[in-house]
């Protein structure tokens, strides 16, 4: 079974679960005030980045494939950046 179960995949899984536990713990037991939202989203972005890079295999993808993946997130960044700029900057 060593051929199909790679240690790296298990490590990635443990990291993802660790980030989940961290996010739950800070939400339940820590009161971070106004920075709480940033921490919550930041940990989720960390999880998503790990998932994209390893499980979704963007690390070994062709440049064109990476661009296609990045395009969706680029438009989302525009939506969030322009849509929330008033609240984020006051």
Partner 1 sequence: MAETQLIVHEPFREAAQQREADALGMWVFLATEAMMFGGLFFALIVIRVIHPQGAQEATNELDMWLGGLNSALLLTSSLTTTLAVTAARNGARGFTIGCLLASAALGAAFLCVKGYEYYVDYTKGLIPAVGKPFPIETTGAELFINGYFVSTGLHAIHLFIGICLAIGLATVVWLRRVPLPGRSIVVEMTGRYWHFVDMVWIFLYPVLYLMDRGG
Footprint of partner 1 on this chain (CB under 8 A)?
A: 1, 3-6, 9-10, 12-13, 16-17, 20, 23-24, 27-32, 36-37, 40-41, 43-44, 47-48, 51-52, 55-56, 61-62, 64-65, 68-69, 71-73, 75-76, 79-80, 83-84, 87
Token pair in block for residue 69: 């993946």
Minimum Å gap between C-beta 50 and partner 1 is 10
Shortest reach from residue 45's CB to partner 1, in Å: 8
Q: How far is residue 52 from each of residues 8, 57, 63, measured CA to CA in Å?
A: 14, 6, 14
Nearest approach in angstroms of CB 36 to partner 1 is 7
DSSP string, 24-41: HHHHHH---GGGHHHHHH
């Amino acid at each position: 079974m060593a051929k199909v179960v790679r240690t790296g995949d298990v490590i990635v899984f443990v990291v993802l679960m660790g980030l989940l536990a961290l996010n739950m713990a800070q939400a339940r037991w820590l009161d971070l005030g106004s920075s709480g939202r940033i921490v919550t989203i930041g940990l989720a972005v960390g999880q998503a980045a790990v998932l994209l890079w390893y499980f979704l295999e963007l690390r070994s993808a062709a440049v064109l494939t990476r661009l296609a993946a990045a395009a969706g997130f680029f438009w989302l960044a525009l939506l969030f950046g322009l849509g929330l700029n008033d609240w984020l900057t006051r």
